[in-house]
């Protein structure tokens, strides 16, 4: 089953924050109880939120509120330096995103400590769902948090994997019925040996990336075969005059529709209606996007259909040139009058990390300049804004990827950069 969501524990899995947490707990117990608590003793307490751990284990109950306040202060201070593995984790999450997989976090941490860590480390933008100890009444190894994340994402247990560094993580993943992997790739992790056997154990990030990308490649290969079958069927139905051959080509088209429905999210009936209206020799569709800069920022529009942002643009229209199409689309979606300047890139969509879809699509990116008009949303858009390269909003992956937008900024920095093909 294709992986559609990757779920993570946080401490010791996505962030090397266990030493910070342990230090903060040790400070609190020393200050208010006058006792030394070992790292092993503290890890055995993990599961509930930090507030609950202190409230349950601090002997000086009169000082619980003050102790919790001190814990957060020490924990926040611990993020002042660069944490081990932060760059590798960024690359991991970026690659997962590029493969159009959802990302979730299920942690016993409080909502506040997760916020401190994820914002300081720049991880928040990657997460589609977060379930903290404040959100799930039952802590791991209970699977409640994992199941809640799956329900929120609309992903089945067969379509998800869960990664964690503790006994409780592995037991929770197994209880939820998802593929569960042990993680020991940061400098500090909770369990050197797992009481419950994970499906796999990863001591480095690279092998896990290879696993998920190999599954993505297999999915894409099936999608390529389905499109080829559809193309053969369409061409056969166009030129065949034999009734038996026509029946065979129709059967091939039905097979391709079933396959495309399996590997895309378009929907079987929509695919059938679309392909049923296709006639003639099968050729790729053409999507044209306008690239407009102002004061070092790029023009994006917010799509009503998915609430995410894209370069203004759309399908090429019969009777209009690419320049005419892009000018029309910019006007309709952003309100600006534009002039097309030059072609920047012609990309085959299948090579660039977009969600799977039933059509073979070429994408044209055309540099344009504003000559009039004003920001005004259209029938298909709800907002119009300019964004800097370091402040990109959630992007509409069907229309453009983060890597494509960053490539457009390369043209802003280097106007002589050659046109990109494929």
Q: Residue 361 is part of a domain; what is its CATH number?
A: 3.90.79.10
Q: Are residues 121 and 270 in the same domain?
A: no
Domain that holds residue 311: 285-421
The pLDDT assigned to 377 comes to 92
Q: Are residues 166 and 231 in the same domain?
A: no
Q: How far is CA 4 from the centre of its chain?
A: 10
Q: Is residue 154 part of a domain?
A: yes
The pLDDT assigned to 259 comes to 80
Q: Are residues 320 and 412 in the same domain?
A: yes
Q: Is residue 208 part of a domain?
A: no
**Rounded Cα–Cα distance for residues 228 and 360 (Å):** 10
Q: Are residues 218 and 341 in the same domain?
A: no
The pLDDT assigned to 254 comes to 87
**Rounded Cα–Cα distance for residues 290 and 141 (Å):** 50
Among 100, 178, 96, 98, smallest CA distance to 145 is for 178
Q: Name the one residue in this structure whose structure tokens are 């534009």.
A: 338
Q: Is residue 416 part of a domain?
A: yes
Q: Are residues 188 and 103 in the same domain?
A: yes
Q: Is residue 220 part of a domain?
A: yes
The pLDDT assigned to 66 comes to 94
* Sheet architecture: strand order including 200-202: 129-131, 102-106, 5-8, 160-164, 179-183, 200-202
Q: Which residues of the chain have pLDDT under 50?
A: none
Q: Are residues 122 and 33 in the same domain?
A: no
Q: Are residues 356 and 386 in the same domain?
A: yes
Q: Are residues 98 and 153 in the same domain?
A: yes
Q: Are residues 144 and 228 in the same domain?
A: no
Q: State the Cα angle at 214 between 209 and 216, rounded to 5°.
A: 100
Q: Reduced to 3 states, what is the DSSP secondary structure of residue 8?
A: strand
Q: State the Cα angle at 309 between 417 and 158, rounded to 5°.
A: 105
Tally of domains within the chain: 4
Of 147, 173, 203, which marks where a domain is finished? 203
The CB-based long-range contact list for 77-83 (8 Å cut-off, 24+ gap) reads 78/17, 78/19, 78/20, 78/23, 78/24, 79/17, 79/20, 79/116, 79/117, 79/120, 79/121, 83/15, 83/16, 83/17, 83/121
The pLDDT assigned to 144 comes to 95
Q: Are residues 362 and 336 in the same domain?
A: yes
């Amino acid at each position: 089953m294709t992986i559609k969501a990757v779920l993570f524990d946080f401490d010791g899995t996505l962030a090397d924050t266990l030493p910070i947490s342990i230090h903060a707990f040790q400070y609190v117990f020393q200050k208010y109880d006058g006792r030394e608590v070992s790292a092993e003793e503290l890890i055995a307490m993990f599961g509930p939120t930090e507030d609950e751990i202190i409230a349950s284990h601090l002997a000086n109950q009169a000082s619980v509120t003050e102790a919790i306040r001190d814990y957060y202060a020490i924990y926040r201070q611990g993020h002042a330096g660069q944490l081990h593995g932060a760059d590798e984790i960024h690359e991991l999450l970026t690659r997962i995103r590029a493969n159009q997989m959802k990302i979730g976090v299920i942690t016993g941490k409080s909502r506040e400590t997760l916020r401190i860590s994820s914002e300081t480390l720049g991880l928040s933008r990657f997460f589609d769902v977060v379930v903290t100890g404040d959100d799930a009444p039952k802590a791991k190894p209970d699977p409640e948090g994992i199941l809640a994340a799956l329900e929120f994402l609309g992903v089945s247990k067969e379509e998800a994997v869960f990664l964690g560094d503790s006994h409780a993580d592995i037991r929770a993943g197994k209880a939820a019925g998802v593929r569960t992997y042990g993680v020991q790739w940061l400098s500090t992790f909770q369990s050197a040996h797992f009481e419950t056997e994970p499906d796999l154990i990863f001591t480095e990030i690279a092998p896990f990336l290879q696993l998920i990308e190999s599954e993505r490649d297999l999915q894409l290969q099936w999608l390529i075969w389905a499109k080829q079958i559809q193309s053969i069927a369409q061409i056969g139905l166009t030129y065949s005059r034999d009734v038996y051959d026509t029946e065979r080509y129709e059967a091939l088209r039905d097979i391709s529709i079933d396959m495309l429905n399996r590997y895309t999210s378009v929907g079987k009936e929509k695919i059938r209606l679309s392909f049923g209206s296709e006639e003639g020799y099968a050729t790729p569709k053409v999507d044209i996007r306008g690239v407009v800069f102002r004061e070092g920022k790029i023009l994006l529009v917010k799509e009503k259909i998915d609430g995410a942002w894209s370069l203004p643009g759309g399908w090429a229209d019969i009777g209009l040139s690419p320049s005419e199409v892009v000018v029309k689309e910019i006007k309709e979606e952003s309100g600006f009058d534009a002039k097309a300047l030059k072609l920047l890139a012609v990309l085959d969509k299948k090579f660039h990390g977009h969600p799977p879809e039933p059509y073979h699509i070429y994408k044209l990116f055309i540099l344009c300049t504003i000559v009039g008009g004003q920001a005004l949303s259209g029938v298909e858009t709800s907002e119009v804004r300019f964004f800097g390269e370091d402040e990109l909003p959630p992007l509409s992956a069907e229309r453009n990827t983060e890597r494509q937008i960053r490539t457009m900024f390369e043209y802003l920095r280097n106007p002589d950069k050659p046109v990109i093909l494929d």
